[in-house]
Amino acid sequence: MIEVSKAKGSYIYDNNNKKYLDFVAGVSACSVGHCNEEVINAIKAQSEKYMHVMVYGEFVTKPSLELAKLLAKNLPKSLNCTYFTNSGTEALEGSMKLARRFTGRKKIIAAKNAYHGSTMGALTLMGLEERKKPFEPLIPEVEFINYNSIDDIDKIDNQTSCVVLETIQGSAGFIIPQSGYLNTIKKKCEDVGALLILDEIQTGIGRTGKLFGFENFNCVPDIIVYGKGLGGGIPIGAFTSSKNLMDSLHKNPILGHITTFGGNPVITAAALQTLKIVLSSKLSEKTREKEILIRKKLNHKLIREIRGVGLMLCLIMRDIEIANSLVLEAKNRGLILFWLLIEKKAVRITPPLTISEKEIDDGCNIILNILDSIEQRC
């Protein structure tokens, strides 16, 4: 167990001032590095003006407004209206409500081996029965399809309110959608009047070489859900759709989705600055260059494959024991790695987008040295 004393850039420090190179970024949350000076200054400046003032959007706060505008400017025209929440999971819950409210339907389609969060609605969409069963009964009228398969596409019918998919399946092992898959699902949704919701909580805000993951696959969903990297280390979530869709939450009932701290001005000031950094520094584009460096460097017999895109990568090891040994030994040697929830042979590599080539090289050398040691013991 590491007791943290401070964190800066790509490093976390413990109470003994030992530094750990962070190849996880708080599970993709610290997109512009730990304690980014520009983000800190934005938080300080906003905190000196006002923090929490009112709920439900009765008052307009400049950071929230400017963040919504900047997101709309950098998204497809149909994704122009954003609702801010406190986390990605809360945003997912809001998007499910929006889909049911807009379509007037109840049925929801999700993917097997999905992970969208642990609240009741998000948990219902999870494909792991052993994690769901202790909390049942969950939300009714949810059915499952196999990700990357169109064999059960007919489950999407005129009773379906929405299909909820991760743009890239995360906990299942960073599984990329096959060519045309997302567009096939989108076309089926259009044919039956359902909505496509893409979970961009892990893929969003520059991590995959584009600002949002769906841009890699030329498929524009009806609703996107995101969080994590948007806050630059501060908790935030959001779901974005068209104004036409979002307006359905305004009435019958009034205030159909409400939150006390969603869109908090201090939080959105941090997010606004984070987004500005990602855009102005072209961090999205640079992730693909860094991906190539990692793939080239991490060539080892014990690594079966490297999955993912950009700086959303995972190593698929030869077996679970090797994955566990790598993560645990890396911590001893000053490198932070982590597991995935569902794919047990996977080791996560999702560093800050700002990580340098030298830091990548240093971290990869630690991984290779550990794997050499494991190989000698086998």
How much is the pLDDT for 130?
Answer: 86
Among candidate residues 294, 290, 312, the one with its CA nearest the CA of residue 303: 294
pLDDT (average), residues 236-264:
92
Query: What per-residue string of b and e applies to 94-129 under the rule 16 or more CB within 10 Å gives b?
Result: bbbbbbbbbbebebbbbbbbbbbbeeebbbbbbbbe
Do 332 and 287 fall into the same domain? yes
* 3-16 residue pLDDT tens: 999 999 999 999 99
Cα 217 to Cα 149, 166, 168, 180, 264, distances in angstroms = 16, 13, 10, 8, 32
Tell which of 249, 280, 311 closes a domain. Answer: 280
Q: In what order do the strands lie in the sheet with 160-166?
A: 81-85, 237-241, 223-226, 195-199, 160-166, 107-111, 142-145
Are 14 and 53 contained in the same domain? Answer: no
Provide the number of structural domains found in the chain: 2
| Domain final position from 227, 245, 280 | 280
| Same domain, residue pair 266 and 299 | no
Give residue 127's pLDDT. 78
Give yes or no: residues 350 and 255 share one domain.
Answer: no
Which segment of 37-41, 148-152, 349-353 scores lowest on mean pLDDT? 148-152
Answer yes or no: do 299 and 183 share one domain.
no
CA atoms within 13 A on the CB side of 338: 18
Q: Would you tell me the crossing angle of helices 357-377 and 283-297 to the nearest 10 degrees?
A: 30
Does 57 have pLDDT greater than 80? no
Same domain as 365, residue 262: no
Do 157 and 177 reside in the same domain of the chain? yes
The pLDDT-based confidence of 59 (bands split at 50, 70, 90) is confident
Report residue 251's pLDDT band, with 50, 70 and 90 as the boundaries. confident
| Banded model confidence at residue 178, pLDDT cuts 50, 70, 90 | very high
**Same-domain pairing of 25 and 48:** no
Please, what is the average pLDDT of the chain? 96
**Which bin fits 209, alpha (ψ -120 to 50), beta or left (φ > 0)?**
left
* β-pair type (142-145, 11-14): unpaired
Q: Does residue 193 have a pLDDT over 90?
A: yes
- Segment 291-296 mean pLDDT: 98
Sorting pLDDT into bands at 50, 70 and 90, what band is 165?
A: very high
Range of the domain at 272: 39-280
Same structural domain, 153 and 166: yes
CA gap 51, 104 in Å, rounded:
37
Which of these three, 245, 264, 280, is where a domain ends?
Answer: 280
- The whole-angstrom separation of Cα 372 and Cα 70 is 47
pLDDT at 56 exceeding the cut of 70: no
Question: Residue 177: what pLDDT?
Answer: 98
Distance between CA atoms of residues 201 and 183, nearest Å: 20
Strand, coil or helix: 349? strand
Distances (CA, A) of 177 to 174, 214, 357: 10, 10, 28
Percent with pLDDT over 90 in the chain:
94
CATH number at residue 245: 3.40.640.10
pLDDT computed for residue 252 by the predictor: 83
pLDDT-derived band at 222 (thresholds 50, 70, 90) equals very high
Q: Is the pLDDT of residue 335 over 80?
A: yes
Q: How far is CA 1 from the centre of its chain?
A: 25
Length of the chain: 378
Task: Check whether residue 271 and residue 302 sit in a common domain.
Answer: no
Instruction: Map residue 150 onto helix, strand or coil.
Output: coil
- Mark whether 169 and 291 lie in a shared domain: no
22 DSSP assignment: E
Same domain, yes or no: 156 and 133: yes
